[in-house]
Every structure is written in C-alpha cells, then in structure tokens.
Amino acid sequence: MILARVVGTVVASHKEPKMEGMRLLLLEKLDPITMNGKNDFVVSVDCVGAGTGEVVFYATGSSARCTKQTEGLPSDASVIAIVDAIEKDGAFTYRKSQ
C-alpha cells in the first residue's frame, strides 16, 4: 500500500455509470520521513471517509476492488485506511493529533 495525503476531491459528473455515487479523492503521494508531498497525484475511491489533509494509504490494482464499495468497479485505487501515526526508529514522523 502507498502512503499519501488527501489534498482534494475530484468531481466527474459524466463518468462510467458503475462509478456513480463513489467519492473520489485527490491524493498526493508522500515521503513518510519528511512528510513532504512528492508532486505525484492519483485519483482514488474513498472507502473510509477520509477528509482533506488527512494522511491515508491506498491499495492499487485488483486489490482495490476488494472492498464492499469498490467490488466490481472499474477502479484501480482505493483508500483503505486513515493513518493515525507513522513511527520510524522509535520516533513518530507523523501523528494525527498534531
């Protein structure tokens, strides 16, 4: 799974009918040590109700379709978790409460 920050949402009124009702998030991949964005963006279906600014990780490929919401959808990226903390070498590089 890949770490990213929710930086916005994507609205597509004209889309594949199966994607109807899906919340689409704009994600920026991030470096978990510096917590800086990598200027690399993806659109991902939101399966956990993540808000803008939150750090998440998402699954890609066929695994993206293994959630209730995305089963059978033509989507290859699903946000499957909101991150509370990232720890490296015993120290937090990110904590949600901050």
Partner 1 sequence: MILGIVAGTVVSTQSQVGIAGARFLLVEKCNHRAELRGEYLVALDPLGVAQGEMVMLSESTPARETPLTQGKPVDTLIVGIVDLIDQDEQVVYKK
Residues within the interface to partner 1 (CB under 8 A): 1-3, 31-33, 47-49, 57, 59-68, 70, 78, 80-90, 93
Instruction: Return d(Cα 83, Cα 85) in angstroms, integer.
Output: 6
Instruction: Return d(Cα 88, Cα 45) in angstroms, integer.
Output: 28
**Closer residue to partner 1, CB minimum distance, 20 or 71:** 71
Q: Which two tokens stand for residue 27?
A: 């994600």
**Closer residue to partner 1, CB minimum distance, 14 or 55:** 55
**Closer residue to partner 1, CB minimum distance, 14 or 52:** 52
Instruction: Return d(Cα 36, Cα 24) in angstroms, integer.
Output: 22
Task: Output the smallest distance, CB 14 to partner 1, in A.
Answer: 27
